[in-house]
Amino acid sequence: MLKDQIRNLKNEAIGEILEAKNPQELERIRAGFLGRSGKINRLTKEIPKLSPEEKKDLGQAINEAKINIESVLRQTQDKLSVQSDNHQKWFDVTAPGIRPPEGHLHLVTEAIREITSIFTSLGFHRARYPEAEWDWYAFEGLNMAENHPARDEWETFFIENLENKKLGKGVLTPHTSSGQLREMEKYPPPIRMINIAKCYRRQSDISHVPMFYQFEGLVIDREISITHLKGTLDYFAKNFFGPNRKIRIRPFHFQFTEPSFEVDISCGLCEGKGCKFCKEGWLELGGSGMVHPAVLKNGGIDPQKYSGFAFGWGVERTYMMKAGLKIDDIRMLYGNDLRFLKQF
């Protein structure tokens, strides 16, 4: 294969460069491999004969080979230059050094840490549950029986040849709500959990990616009501988005909560007055509601004694709604364009 030829040529060139005795020999090696009629450039003549995908792969392989060879050439040239000097070069020890480039946390990681900090201040504890989950925890135990229409929304990744007689098929967890049942099984009330984890769905466009992060809040105790839910959401909004942002809840339907609500946040650009970005002053944030009695029973908790609320939002979507950010395509968060990532 052409890629194998390129790899062999690269290794051959590096081997000859490392054995070079003088700059003249280095120049001969450079011309022999990287010159206009060099061995590597000859292979570029084969590119027009390839398919689009093969052209892309071969082009990348050639560029990588050239970069590696040029890097070794420079290093060897510097080494030979130092060796050829008959006297020690003057060096100013007081001159400032050149600082190497510094990286930073990815903006999704920063968002997860900030979200965790806010809810920790309210007494929530951070939980982590499996990415590979059983159908019972992901669907059936959350009041979504087999073939229920609500399952169609998730476009689930099922894991081949993985099934439990009691818990059903193996899946890549489609939402962090599966952690609700595991938390109830693990701890008796009162419960205050924030579960932040990767989720997987067969969706990909400007507002969806196949792998994304969600954070799931769960509170269960005696006499928990909607006012507790609303107060928690308001506290989070003001601390994460800013003191002028507001939250509202609208009636909706989720199979695992009753009653259920969609959560909206006031637009950060017009402060809820209405603009081209939000239309009516509000932006949809995520779902929430009071934990369904059937879900409490499935988690081993008596719904006659305890009640609770839950909410689940995408970390990326929530971060994109922060004041001052104008990110119109969620896929940009997981690209490798440093010009974009260095801004955060």
Binding residues: 258
Instruction: Give the Å distances, CA to CA, from 306 to 54, 216, 297.
Output: 61, 19, 10
Residue 252 contacts residue 261 (beta carbons within 8 Å): yes
Helix (H) / strand (E) element for 178: namely helix 178-186
Q: If you write DSSP's letter for every residue of 122-169 in order, what string do you get?
A: TT-EEE---SEEEHHHHTGGGT--TT-GGGGGT--EEEEEEEETTTEE
DSSP 261-287: EEEEEE-TTTTTS--TTTSSSEEEEEE
> Which residues contribute to the annotated binding site for Mg(2+)?
258
Write the DSSP string, 59-84. HHHHHHHHHHHHHHHHHHHHHHHHHH
| Alpha-carbon span 194 to 167, nearest angstrom | 24
CA 159 to chain centroid, in Å, comes to 21
| Residues listed for the chain | 344
Q: Is residue 244 within 8 Å of residue 256, measured between CB atoms?
A: no
* Burial group, residue 294, by CB count within 10 angstroms (0-12, 13-18, 19+): middle
- Provide the residue type at 334 as one letter: Y
* Helical packing angle, 52-84 and 23-34, nearest 10°: 170
Distance CA 65, CA 197 (A): 38
